[in-house]
Chain A
Amino acid sequence: MNHTIFLVSLIVCFWTLPCFGKNQTWTEVSARVQKEVNQIKLETAETKEIIKKERAALLQQLARLKKAVLREEKKFNRLKGQFETLLKQEEKERAQLEKEVQETKSLEGIVRAVARDANKLFQNSLISPEYPQYLQRIERLSEAKQFPSFEDVQAIVESLFAYMKASGRIRQSREEFIGPKGIRIRGETLRVGDIVAFYRQNKDGESGGSVGFLRYDPKQRLLAAYSGDTSWSVARAIRKYLEGNSNVLPLDLSGGAILERLSHSKGIKEWLLSGGFLVWPILLVGLTAFVLVLERLFFLARIKADTDEIMQNFNSLFSQGLLDKCKELSATNDRVPVCKVLAAGLAHLGAGKDVLENALHEAIIKEIPRLERFLPTLSVLGAIAPLMGLLGTVTGIIDTFQVITFFGTSDPRMMSGGISEALVTTQLGLAVAIPIMLMHHFLEQKVDRLVADMEEKSMTLTISIMKGEGHGLAPEVK
């Protein structure tokens, strides 16, 4: 409004200013001014009108705009509320997600742990070769980086259930396994749950063959025989079971620990070989002594220790003066030393007492070496054997200590292995010596008895001869 008025007055000034220069009359001027004023008024009115119109339009627009603003504000508010609820929802969802991620992580961890446990179980289980598909899957699962799928979980469950079922059964089959020599062979296998498994090496349909225990070899994914020999009694029990003659089986309830230990334990051969070179002389001593003892036993067993019967016969014949018969009797029993003594006595019948006694004595002395043959040797062997053992032990321990001087005593294991091997010879020496000593004693006793018997019988003969028997002149025996 003010603008317009100001504008109008300005225009008027500009109009009037140049007019003052002319000589015009006031009236004219005023009329013109009036006119102009009127015009201006008109124009003003017009302008006002325009302004009014414009204002009205503007007002309308303003109202419209205000409405719009209101509307927009309402919308904004509504949207803001929506946004906030959404925010809240998002937070909730985030928390939920967090929780679920945690859960899945722990679930994955559990699945992995179970898979690893199952893998460990299957790696040491005798049942594994029967389910190679499960084994591979579980192996993959226990090492995998990706998230386990539901099928994987199912596979674990299935395999564990299969394992449970299988570990409650005894299964006999023919399959490939790694034999005791490390070569793949086909044979009969018998699995008792997951406790123990046996093999029998044979062709189809034949009985017999070597038997033994099996373990699972995870590298080859096959059952493998334990190295080392199965003891005879155990092997017999397994064979009997496989042939259906018994329902008793030897089991290793320690989960293979005992069998592992046994397969490392030494057989007699390894035990001997570990003793060093002095084992052989000791064994030679033992063998020699054994042969000598056997020879002596045979020799002495054939000799009758109880010669009283022979003596009675001899005496009765002798007192009747049947010297020929006597000689015959002593000749027929020439194995018996007593008879030789008697024969010697008969040969010196006519001689004096001293001569006779000497002859008999000589006969006895002749017999003694034959009886005592090898006995001194035996006693020497019995004395030598433990000494040799001791020598072997000392030698072995010297070797061990030489090792120590080179490498120090950092590891007692190295030392003790040497010492235990060194002690083997002492053990063997004693084991050889004790029987030799006992046998030597008994043989010696037997010989002593025989010698004493001979002496006694020679005395009897002397008495008989001195009594004057044997010439048919003997008095009657009361």
Chain B
Amino acid sequence: MFVSSGWFEQVVSYFDAGGCVTVLLMGLSIWMWTLIIVKLKEIYTYRRTEIPLNECFVRLKQGRDIPGWQGQLIKNFVSRRSFEPEIDQKLLHTLACKYYLAIERHIKTILVLAGTAPLLGLMGTVTGMIASFEVISLFGTGNAKALSSGISEALITTQIGLIVAIPGLFMGNFLLRRAEQLKARIKRFCNSLMVEMMSS
């Protein structure tokens, strides 16, 4: 073991002790966090561009354009409406479904990746334990140095697996809740829009 000076070497040596499973875990983690960041930005954009219902309808009456998804929804709806309440209801639902899909996308993937990370960690652990036991079967329990590499591999991979999984699960569930809220808001908006359209 070389004595590491900077934090970078420390990190590298830490991952090096974990064996090849850490590389997989790192890849998985990067993928997961990319998705998380993308989703966060997406949901945040939906929220940011949203304007209160009243203002929305005021703008609609005045003919000013409405930003974000609300504007798109209204535009699509107006272009294809048939002035029959039942059909219009269906149409709105169809239009909203597109948004639902877009919002839900990747969140399940994040949760699945977060669920896979501890399994990968476990696999690394098993690999490390196999290495340790092999060392014991070769050299007996006397050779502590040789033993420790296998043990450190075993522990570090589990550690990394959990480090990847816990925030991943947390963020995944957080995003899931946010997505549900957003879907509910879209639904409410559709209902209000329907009422508004019918009344006008």
Contact = CB atoms under 8 A, between A and B. Distances in A.
Given A412-B141, A441-B109, A455-B97, A423 B126 contact: yes
Given A427-B130, A445-B108, A466-B87, A434 B140 contact: no
Contacts of A452: 97, 101
A427 B127 contact: yes
A438 B133 CA distance: 30
B129 A420 contact: yes
A427 B112 contact: no
Contacts of B91: 459, 463
Contact of B140 (A353, A412, A459, A466): A412
Given A412-B140, A437-B112, A478-B79, A420 B134 contact: yes
Given A427-B126, A459-B90, A459-B94, A417 B134 contact: yes
B82 interface: yes
B130 A423 contact: yes
A438 B112 contact: yes
A462 interface: yes
Contacts of A427: 123, 126-127, 130
A316 interface: no
A396 to B, nearest CB: 11
A46 interface: no
Interface residues of A, number: 36
A175 interface: no
B55 interface: no
Contacts of B156: none
A459 B93 contact: yes
B44 to A, nearest CB: 23
Given A441-B108, A459-B93, A434 B120 contact: yes
Contacts of B60: none
Interface residues of B, number: 36
Given A463-B91, A466-B87, A478-B79, A430 B108 contact: no
Contact of A434 (B84, B98, B119): B119
Contacts of B133: 416-417, 419-420, 423
B102 to A, nearest CB: 11
Interface in A241-267: none
Contacts of B86: 353, 466
B130 to A, nearest CB: 5
Contacts of B122: 430
Interface in B130-145: 130-134, 136-138, 140-141
A476 B134 CA distance: 78
A456 B129 contact: no
Quick one: which of A417, A420, A455, A467 has the most chain B CB within 10 A? A420
B137 A460 contact: no
B126 A426 contact: yes
B116 interface: yes
Contacts of A455: 97
A32 interface: no
B111 to A, nearest CB: 9
B107 to A, nearest CB: 10
Contacts of A426: 126
Contacts of A388: none
B141 to A, nearest CB: 5
Contacts of A353: 86
B120 A420 contact: no
Contacts of A463: 80, 82, 87, 90-91, 94
Interface in A373-432: 386, 411-417, 419-420, 423-424, 426-427, 430-431
Given A420-B133, A466-B82, A466-B86, 4 more contacts: A413-B140, A416-B132, A420-B131, A459-B90
Interface of A: 353, 386, 411-417, 419-420, 423-424, 426-427, 430-431, 433-434, 437-438, 441-442, 445, 449, 452, 455-456, 459-460, 462-463, 466-467, 477-478
26 contacts: A411-B140, A412-B140, A413-B137, A413-B138, A414-B137, A416-B132, A416-B136, A417-B134, A420-B136, A423-B126, A423-B133, A426-B126, A430-B119, A434-B119, A434-B120, A442-B109, A455-B97, A456-B94, A459-B90, A459-B91, A459-B93, A459-B97, A460-B94, A466-B82, A466-B84, A478-B79
Instruction: Give 6 nearest A-B pairs by CB, closest first.
Output: A420-B133, A417-B137, A416-B136, A430-B123, A416-B133, A459-B94
